[in-house]
C-alpha cells in the first residue's frame, strides 16, 4: 500500500534525528535517473525542517553498455562520480550525503567517507522505508552481535540442505548496518539490520547449497531447485545444479573476471521488520531487495569485491545470496540455529 507524503516525511525525520543531523549542517541529496520522486520530496522536507542547508546533485547514469539489467548493483564499474571532481568536492564538503542514486563499492564513496562525510543510502520504495524505519534497539542488537563476530577466528555454516563451509576470519573488519549514520565518516543503508565481515583471502573452504526458495540478487529471483557451490581456497570452483545454476553461471561468466567467483562478505540478518517473502510482491525494477538481505535469521553471503572493507578486489560482478534455515557458528558457538537468531530478539 502506498504511503502519504506526511508518513514518509515523518519517517525521514526519525532517521535524520537518529543520524544526529544538526541545524546549520549541510546536506547534499545525490539523485539519478531512477530516484523516487516521493522519496526525494520527503527527504528534502525533513532535512529542511531539521534546519539543514540542503543541496541536490543530480547525475546521469553510466554502465548501460555493460550491465545486463537496470539494477544499480548489477555492474559495479564506473559510477556517475567517476571523473567528476566538482561533484566529489561538493560531497566531501557536506556533513551528510543522502544517496538516492546508489553509490556502492566505489573508490569515490570510500574517498568521500574518509573526509568525514556521512552517507545514508535509501533507494527502496517509500512503503518499504516506512515499514523499516530504524530504531536505537536495532543499533544495539547489531552492535551486540558485532562484538561476537569481531572476536571470532572462524565462522562455520551448516544446513540440512547440505551447506557445510568454514571461513577463516580476522583479516578484515566487522561492518554493521542498522539504518542510520550517527558518526562522522559512517555509511549505512536504510533499510538494513545485519552485520558482516569478509573471510581471509583464501580462507573459505567447503560447500554451499542454495536451496529451493533461497534468493539470488541482483537477479531478484527465488531458486526453483538447489544450486551447489564447491568453495576451495576462497573461490567458488564449481557451480552445479539445474537451470538456476546454469543461469547463475552464465551471468557470472559474462564479466570475464575470475575474481567474480571469490567469496565476498559473510554475515547474518537481524531485522524482524524485513521479510523473506517481500520480494515476491514487487516487480523486479521496483526494489533492490533489501528485505532479502536483512530478514532476521538469514545467512547472507556474497561473491565478488572486498574493497568495501579495505581489500584489493574490485570486480564489477557482485552477487548477494541470502539463505534460509542455516546454522551459523562462531568458533563453534552457535549464534543462529536453523534460521533462528539466538540473542532473544529486539528489545526496546
Q: Which domain holds residue 122?
A: 5-131
Q: Are residues 215 and 335 in the same domain?
A: yes
Which CATH number goes with the domain that contains 45? 3.40.50.2300
Q: Are residues 180 and 126 in the same domain?
A: no
Q: Cell numbers of 261, please?
A: 567467483
Q: Is residue 126 part of a domain?
A: yes
Q: Are residues 89 and 203 in the same domain?
A: no
Q: Is residue 346 part of a domain?
A: no
Torsion region of 193: left, alpha or beta (phi above 0 gives left; psi -120 to 50 gives alpha): left
Q: Are residues 171 and 293 in the same domain?
A: yes
Residue of 128, 124, 131 lying closest to 34 (CA atoms): 124
Q: Are residues 88 and 207 in the same domain?
A: no
User: pTM, whole model, 2 decimals?
Assistant: 0.95
Q: Is residue 244 part of a domain?
A: yes
Q: Is residue 186 part of a domain?
A: yes
Q: Are residues 197 and 249 in the same domain?
A: yes
Q: Are residues 147 and 292 in the same domain?
A: yes
Contact yes or no for 269/300 (Cβ under 8 A)? yes
Looking at 88, 115, 131, which one is the last position of a domain? 131
Q: What is the pLDDT of residues 169-180, one digit of tens each?
A: 999 999 999 999
Q: Are residues 53 and 174 in the same domain?
A: no
Q: Are residues 50 and 111 in the same domain?
A: yes
Return the bridge partners of 195, or none: 176, 268
Looking at 114, 131, 148, which one is the last position of a domain? 131
Q: Dump strand ranges (E) for 136-275.
A: 154-159, 164-168, 175-177, 187-189, 194-198, 204-210, 215-216, 221-222, 227-232, 235-241, 263-269
Q: Are residues 186 and 98 in the same domain?
A: no
Return the bridge partners of 221, or none: 216
Q: Is residue 347 part of a domain?
A: no
User: Rounded to whole angstroms, how far apart are CA atoms 119 and 100?
Assistant: 10
Binned at pLDDT 50, 70 and 90, residue 63 comes out as confident
- From residue 4, alpha-carbon distances to 11, 42, 110, 121, 221 in Å are 11, 10, 34, 21, 29
Q: Is residue 166 part of a domain?
A: yes
Residue of 333, 325, 296, 297 lying closest to 159 (CA atoms): 325
Which SS3 state, helix, strand or coil, does residue 213 take? coil
Output the pLDDT for position 346: 66
Q: What is the pLDDT of residues 259-287, one digit of tens each?
A: 999 999 999 999 999 999 999 999 999 99
Q: How many domains does the chain have?
A: 2
Q: What is the pLDDT of residues 211-241, one digit of tens each?
A: 999 999 999 999 999 999 999 999 999 999 9
Q: Are residues 176 and 282 in the same domain?
A: yes
Q: Cell numbers of 111, please?
A: 574517498
pLDDT at 1 over 90: no
Output the pLDDT for position 79: 83
Q: Are residues 144 and 112 in the same domain?
A: no
Q: Which residues contact 257 (CB under 8 A, 6 or more apart)?
A: 315, 316, 317
Amino acid at each position: 500500500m502506498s504511503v502519504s507524503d506526511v508518513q514518509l516525511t515523518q519517517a525521514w525525520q526519525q532517521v535524520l534525528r537518529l543520524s544526529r543531523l544538526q541545524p546549520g549542517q549541510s546536506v547534499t541529496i545525490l539523485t539519478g535517473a531512477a530516484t523516487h520522486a516521493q522519496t526525494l520530496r520527503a527527504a528534502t522536507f525533513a532535512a529542511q525542517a531539521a534546519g539543514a542547508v540542503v543541496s541536490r546533485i543530480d547525475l546521469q547514469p553510466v554502465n548501460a553498455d555493460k550491465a545486463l539489467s537496470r539494477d544499480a548493483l548489477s555492474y559495479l564499474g564506473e559510477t556517475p562520480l567517476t571523473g567528476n571532481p566538482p561533484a566529489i568536492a561538493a560531497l566531501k564538503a557536506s556533513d551528510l550525503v543522502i544517496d538516492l542514486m546508489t553509490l556502492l563499492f566505489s573508490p569515490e564513496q570510500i574517498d568521500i567517507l574518509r573526509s568525514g562525510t556521512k552517507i545514508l543510502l535509501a533507494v527502496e520504495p517509500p512503503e518499504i522505508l516506512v515499514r523499516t524505519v530504524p530504531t536505537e534497539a536495532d543499533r544495539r542488537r547489531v552492535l551486540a552481535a558485532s562484538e561476537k563476530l569481531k572476536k571470532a577466528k572462524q565462522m562455520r555454516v551448516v544446513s540440512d540442505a547440505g551447506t557445510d563451509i568454514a571461513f577463516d576470519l580476522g583479516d578484515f573488519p566487522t561492518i554493521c548496518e542498522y539504518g542510520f549514520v550517527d558518526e562522522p565518516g559512517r555509511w549505512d543503508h536504510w533499510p538494513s539490520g545485519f552485520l558482516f565481515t569478509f573471510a581471509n583471502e583464501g580462507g573459505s573452504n567447503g560447500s554451499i547449497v542454495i536451496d529451493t526458495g533461497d534468493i539470488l540478487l541482483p537477479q531478484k529471483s527465488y531458486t526453483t531447485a538447489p544450486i551447489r557451490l564447491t568453495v576451495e581456497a576462497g573461490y567458488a570452483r564449481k557451480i552445479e545444479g539445474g537451470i538456476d545454476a546454469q543461469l547463475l553461471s552464465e551471468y557470472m561468466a559474462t564479466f570475464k573476471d575470475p575474481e567474480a567467483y571469490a567469496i565476498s562478505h559473510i554475515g547474518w540478518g537481524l531485522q524482524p521488520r524485513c521479510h523473506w517473502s517481500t520480494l515476491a510482491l514487487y516487480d523486479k525494477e521496483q526494489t533492490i531487495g533489501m528485505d532479502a538481505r536483512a530478514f532476521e535469521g538469514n545467512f547472507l553471503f556474497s561473491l565478488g569485491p572486498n574493497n568495501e572493507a579495505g581489500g584489493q578486489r574490485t570486480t564489477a560482478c557482485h552477487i548477494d545470496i541470502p539463505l534460509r534455515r542455516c546454522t551459523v557458528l562462531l568458533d563453534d558457538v552457535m549464534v543462529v540455529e536453523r534460521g533462528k537468531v539466538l540473542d532473544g530478539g529486539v528489545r526496546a
